[in-house]
Amino acid sequence: MSDARILFLDDDPVIRILRFIFECRENDRWLADYFAPERVDLRRLVQASRGLRTADGATVGVQGDAAHRVEDASIIVFRRGDVTSSLIDAHPSLRLVQRLGARSDAIDVTAARERGVRISCLPRRTLAWTAEHALLLMLALGKQLVVGDRAVREGRSAVEHGIDGVSYNWVGFARASGLAGRTLGIVGVGEVGTLVAKLASAFGMRVLYWKPRRADLALERRLGVRYAELGELLAESDYVSLHAPARAETENMAGASFFRSMKRTAYFVNTSRGRLVDETALYEALTSGAIAGAGLDVHAIEPRAAGDRLAALENVILTPHYAGGAKSGLLDELETIVGNCHAALEGGRIAGEVPADLA
């Protein structure tokens, strides 16, 4: 019988998938609904989790759930939350703190090291893909990709013939451009926002950022970004990319005043959550010329209805909330966590292990 005692610090939906597997709830309807419309085979993850499941004798619970308490956990798994010195002290047999995500700033690394606890902060490929998608939307907007493709297919032309068979920009798009030399304003610099900043710098963009609590100077220097108050960021940016968390206080944060503060030539991109945007205000900004265009992977109501007013606008690019790739890609991340749990209990190699010198 397994003596694994696994405490989930939060009930984030991605983490919940793994908890359900450990709790032998792989047939729970919630899982099918979460992955829909994809049909995902969980058998590989179930097989990898042998020895960590309640059927094998493991104890599994969520912090704060009195009905499923985990005393003296050997493994803590989380995505959002804080692993403090007092939490580590409360679990003397703790062997692994496993975070789904690359950042370790929510963990008291020094306290963990002093107690011999290993730490893994696992970079997420799905977040890297989301950051790529934000740049994809920026490129597509700046280069007028969708309308340019349509113009070529329809045979539209503003000239009768080229010179020596070459006719640059024969449709006559006056605003087609690119990213190099432009200013990007990132609203919210969490994990995805950080990845967007790195990619944007590689494209030769100047990067400003805003968040309620300014990042430390070392991170700013490492990313090559500059902090700006929100009003300044909106006024100076050629592209504004939204990466704030979805909370009650951030709902509709991108509203009428937000869009009025942007340049008339600027583009707005959202790959975070649809509820952060007042879509009525966005529609008015797009149709009045207050901003030049928008790229949305997330939407106020999903799926977006056919014939939606934003879908009728040529200066909008819409994708169906798939910036992070297929949902089945989460299984690779979760299987790596499973492997780390086994390694922590058996003394093996841990993926994403935080270097000892970080403390």
334: amino acid identity, one letter: L
pLDDT tens digits along 303-322 = 999 889 999 999 999 999 99
pLDDT tens digits along 56-82 = 999 999 998 877 889 999 999 999 999
**78 and 192 co-located in one domain:** no
Average pLDDT over residues 16-24: 97
**136 and 261 co-located in one domain:** yes
Residue from 16, 133, 273, 299 carrying the catalytic annotation: 273
Quote the pLDDT of residue 163.
Answer: 83
**281 and 345 co-located in one domain:** no
Quote the pLDDT of residue 1.
Answer: 60
- Please answer whether residues 358 and 109 qualify as being in contact, where contact means their C-beta atoms are separated by less than 8 angstroms: yes
Residue from 132, 321, 342, 353 carrying the catalytic annotation: 321
- CATH number where 68 lies: 3.40.50.720
Residue 156 resides in a domain: no
Average pLDDT over residues 137-162: 92
Average pLDDT over residues 228-249: 95
From residue 20, give the alpha-carbon distance in Å to each of 9, 78, 136, 265: 14, 14, 34, 48
Say how far apart CA 204 and CA 56 lie, in whole Å. 53
Determine the number of helices (DSSP H) and then strands (DSSP E) in the chain: 13, 12
Domain region containing 233: 127-143+178-318
Average pLDDT over residues 281-296: 98
- Within 8 A by CB and 6+ apart from 162, the residues are 168, 170
**298 and 337 co-located in one domain:** no
Residue 166 resides in a domain: no
**138 and 268 co-located in one domain:** yes
**101 and 66 co-located in one domain:** yes
**Local structure of 121: helix, strand or coil:** strand
Residue from 154, 160, 302, 346 carrying the catalytic annotation: 302
Percent of the chain with pLDDT over 90: 86
Average pLDDT over residues 101-130: 94
Tell me what the pLDDT averaged over the chain comes to.
Answer: 94
* Total tally of structural domains belonging to the chain: 2
Specify whether 321 is catalytic.
Answer: yes
What is the crossing angle of helices 145-154 and 125-142, to 10°? 60
Quote the pLDDT of residue 160.
Answer: 80
- Please name which of 265, 272, 278 lies closest in space to residue 241, comparing C-alpha atoms: 272
Q: Which run of H or of E encompasses 125?
A: helix 125-142
pLDDT tens digits along 159-203 = 887 788 899 999 988 888 999 999 999 999 899 999 999 999 999
**132 and 267 co-located in one domain:** yes
Residue 343 has pLDDT above 90, yes or no: yes
- Within 8 A by CB and 6+ apart from 138, the residues are 179, 184, 239, 241, 267, 269, 295
First to last CA, the chain: 35
Residue 109 resides in a domain: yes
Quote the pLDDT of residue 66.
Answer: 79
DSSP code for 216 = P
